[in-house]
Structure 1
């Protein structure tokens, strides 16, 4: 029986060798990840052949490693063999360099054959030996499966990953010190494959990175391409199937279109399982170096006049309130606060003096360059960095952008109007700065009417930011009409709102809307008119009602005697959401799949991982003016 098992094992081993598989004995200190990286395969590839390794992984375990896409073909290399010496008598003015050139050998090789030349100079009449060699052509197998590649113009990570048949994550693993944005001329480590096996990146094609847990059905929704169409463009899919991180070739012009599904809010309280103390860093520009603690009155005035400091302190209070709320749920937090002073040099100093590798998350900083420095530095340790108050310039793979993008706000608003149950008429009023986006909006509503502002009467090259009352004549009839007003000019907004309010009489219902509410509607615009027109707009947050019973508001009022600002609410919402998510999974990444949507006092969160980047919040409110209050639209 024992012999039979031995034969089977030998046969199995030979079979593996024939297929290109190899055996690896685990050494102390090795991990699945380090082994996968060493053989240029994925962790999933190893687990597929070694399912027991998921539960039992220890030194001396023998793993079957699949053949990597990296080729290691033998290369031809010339070598030289010493076959004898030629005697030479030195003539006048002859030098070692001249002799090396004459006989095709190096100066060092002549010295080795004539040891006295290490201490004495060459002289006329000396008799020396010149070594003679023969060339041997041999084949040598490289032990190094990685070669250097110089980045070409217009090449990014995904193009290089596609060219060499690896994922972006594989490329980053091969180049741990690679910049987030690579530049032409940069040298990168890439698989040592034959030039003929490199894929060609075509300017006439598009490319897409497969996200975790994406299948062909999901890609059909996002890219409008069937499994057969994708396999025709990417033949390797028939053998490998879809894998997270792989780059797919798609037709030019194909752009992922995420359907904005209605996602029910998730009650994370019922899913709390990880009660390990959460280690959080809060990086904010408190600028404590400017505060004189002995001058109380002056400090109070400075806080009152300094808008940035007031915002930061309000956010900080919200964070502390969230920690208290989380503690009542059994979630403990180790919070470390750092003063960045709104300066990148201080931020760099904080990073140099502290080890953040074991932190669960870092909130902040607010200043853009400081945030980028923190995110880029902590990316190597995969520490999540939360962009709480602004949108970062670069959404690295470890960045969580809590503010949705403007394009998403616009899409949510247009989808809201399109979903109106009544046969809705649409009118678009726009200044010339918003002409392009308004014309795009008109294509969404083909039967809509677009009214552009008049040019300045004195200078026709400038926008006058006004329309005539006659422009609106015979535009409105009985029934409901949505009017999109697209401008950043407050005087235009004020005049148009007044005109529309006068036209909304009897059975003519006019609902005012905008794709992106800026400051135009905050100044000089009558709130009564906005309420009459049921002004709708997309928003990152909703205003909480301070007049109704609310534990958060009551707690704040009891402590400070006033209603909390939106910055207090934001600090509370972001921090409580962070702690709740961390308490439901091993890390923030696992707790931030796009089917999880949370909602708190003023903000809601549903994160979606973007290709080649991090996580962006896609939860948006549609709010409206109603009886001089801002409420969620139905």
Structure 2
């Protein structure tokens, strides 16, 4: 629906451009290209794309295009005015900073220096910009240039010479003639010249540097979707993603027509032009307890609901209600953390509230208002992601950090949300990063039924080889062995719930151990591996490796925690109880550093009993935890952390 809305808005904006020129419609025939249609109506391909931005993704037979009249070939009348020696430009609908800078041949820095308000407000329709005339390479006019303007295209994942040539209405031979470097290979991110002549090397040095950077740094491996918010600009999106405006347009060609609210853009899952610096892990033992801090926990006890239920006894409810059990376990762990903080003398006031939440409702708004939670230093909870987002929205004005303690969901991102559970994709990516760090040869054995896993690996980890399956969908032992490489560790990523397929993969790997270094890898928990048909000793021989958000900690400190918890609660701590302790204790230790919670997150990572907290800022707002363990089965049948 958002996509349709974006198209409608773009079409309305375009209508203003062509208001004085009538349009006609064209029904697309099978095999037709934009270039052919443009030639038929004696218009430019750009003018068709302006009226039909969705056509950038390809033409569908029987779809209808808006075609400008031949008179509409003349694009927007220049909004530049020259008064004495001052050049000004009135911003038109759909114009971008990138386009204006290219129009006048000036740099981004020069334009912003002449118009300081752009840094804060971004580009707005109707603004009058001062164009630094001493920086202009040439004054543009409405008369067409004799030489065809150079048009470049940045190669995106999965694109081919055929698809690119077809998109621009040229032949593959012409594409190769203009770009002899791609005759034998088409590298992802390569800057192709598709029309006109290449820009001479005598261009301004600063722009040459910018062009060089753009042509070599756009190496996007992981992308995610981002929906454009109201009043966002190309400049702002560029700053947020860490890409240049040219790189953003290369990933999303329709951006060349302007930024429109509701557009869904491809952006890097992490800024692709920089490498994240791993944070140093510290125990935060040095504390500063001078200023008292306020911590609020919003936990879904739903006491009112329990009290109003006169039919179900408390014992019966505890036996059947898994959500209540999870809440009470988390609460018991949190109380252990609060007691530990008291022993350490931490100067923190802790308030615990019943969030009275279900997936679709909660008492969050009234709790915040009645208890002045906007004055809190940190809020932990609620449990449901939708309620976490509601809490963050209500507290965003006061910049109160809101920690999501248990949810893996990804919804609306607010700047003050701290997602303490790593996302499923982050967990899977962590094990691939580890395998690459060891220089491993990665091979995937994936069941045909696991289509989403196949797609995930193909899109995000192109260096992984897929082992061929037999006609019946089984493992081809011969093909799998042919993919092994000597003098490297061969990681076999196995994703299947089929027992026969698992046993065949294991047998093939065991038979190859005399010649090759091999290790079995899974991306997520696999219940089939826990059945009697799969021999545990074989998994240990292959050092079964997997990513996890929590570890199995047998250290002396962990044993003390488990012992103290059992003394206090008469049961051993569950995973939820340990997480309640880890999240709460970690938060309290960060609050005791004499800094804001956000500052401690930016500067340090921590490790508690079973969980790591290594937060990074997300490009769409908020923070994500990338504290992930890579675990493996050792030959003594114990689970250890891979280093």
For residues 554-590 of structure 1, give each alpha carbon's deviation from its aligned partner in whole angstroms, at most 9, with x where no partner exists.
1112223433111111111111111111111331112
CA distance in 1: counterparts of 2:446 and 2:612, whole angstroms: 30
Cα 1:328–1:430 change in 2 (3 A) is same
Aligned to 1:375: 392
CA distance in 1: counterparts of 2:244 and 2:421, whole angstroms: 29
Aligned to 2:592: 583
For residues 417-459 of structure 1, give each alpha carbon's deviation from its aligned partner in whole angstroms, at most 9, with x where no partner exists.
22327xx4443212341223334576325xxx4214456x5xx
For residues 272-306 of structure 1, give each alpha carbon's deviation from its aligned partner in whole angstroms, at most 9, with x where no partner exists.
12443332222222222343599999423322332
Name which of 323, 326, 329 aligns with 2:344: 329
Name which of 359, 375, 384 aligns with 2:401: 384
For residues 58-79 of structure 1, give each alpha carbon's deviation from its aligned partner in whole angstroms, at most 9, with x where no partner exists.
xxxxxxxxxxxxxxxxxxxxxx
Cα 1:549–1:400 change in 2 (3 A) is closer
Cα 1:419–1:471 change in 2 (3 A) is same
> Which secondary structure does the structure 1 equivalent of 2:639 belong to?
strand
Aligned to 1:528: 537
Cα 1:591–1:231 change in 2 (3 A) is farther
For residues 363-411 of structure 1, give each alpha carbon's deviation from its aligned partner in whole angstroms, at most 9, with x where no partner exists.
1222232222111121111111111111341221011111223443334
Q: Is the counterpart of residue 551 in structure 1 residue 560 in structure 2?
A: yes
Aligned to 1:289: 304
Cα 1:203–1:585 change in 2 (3 A) is farther
Aligned to 1:484: 492
> Which secondary structure does the structure 1 equivalent of 2:275 belong to?
coil
CA distance in 2: counterparts of 1:351 and 1:335, whole angstroms: 12
Structure 1 alignment gaps of length 5 or more:
1-148, 156-161, 173-188, 207-222, 235-241, 458-463
Aligned to 2:639: 630
Shift of 1:602: 0.8
CA distance in 2: counterparts of 1:197 and 1:519, whole angstroms: 65
Aligned to 2:328: 313
Aligned to 1:110: none
Contact 1:166–1:246 (Cα < 8 Å) also in 2: no
Contact 2:443–2:490 (Cα < 8 Å) also in 1: yes
CA distance in 1: counterparts of 2:567 and 2:630, whole angstroms: 31
Q: Is the counterpart of residue 249 in structure 1 residue 268 in structure 2?
A: no
> Which secondary structure does the structure 2 equivalent of 1:544 belong to?
coil
Shift of 1:338: 2.2
Structure 2 alignment gaps of length 5 or more:
1-90, 98-108, 133-150, 156-188, 191-204, 214-237, 252-266
CA distance in 1: counterparts of 2:294 and 2:208, whole angstroms: 43
Q: Is the counterpart of residue 405 in structure 1 residue 423 in structure 2?
A: yes
Shift of 1:486: 4.4
- Give the structure with the higher percent helix: 2
Aligned to 2:438: 420
Cα 1:418–1:556 change in 2 (3 A) is same
> Which secondary structure does the structure 2 equivalent of 1:386 belong to?
strand
Aligned to 1:444: 463
Q: TM-score, normalised by structure 2?
A: 0.56
Contact 2:422–2:625 (Cα < 8 Å) also in 1: yes
Contact 1:494–1:526 (Cα < 8 Å) also in 2: no
> Which secondary structure does the structure 2 equivalent of 1:444 belong to?
coil
- Show the 5 A alignment for 1:185-200: 193-194=127-128
Name which of 621, 624, 627 aligns with 2:629: 621
Shift of 1:319: 1.1
Cα 1:629–1:561 change in 2 (3 A) is farther
CA distance in 1: counterparts of 2:575 and 2:379, whole angstroms: 21
Cα 1:454–1:386 change in 2 (3 A) is farther
> Which secondary structure does the structure 1 equivalent of 2:357 belong to?
coil
Cα 1:264–1:246 change in 2 (3 A) is closer
Contact 2:489–2:518 (Cα < 8 Å) also in 1: yes
- Show the 5 A alignment for 1:61-100: none
Q: TM-score, normalised by structure 1?
A: 0.56
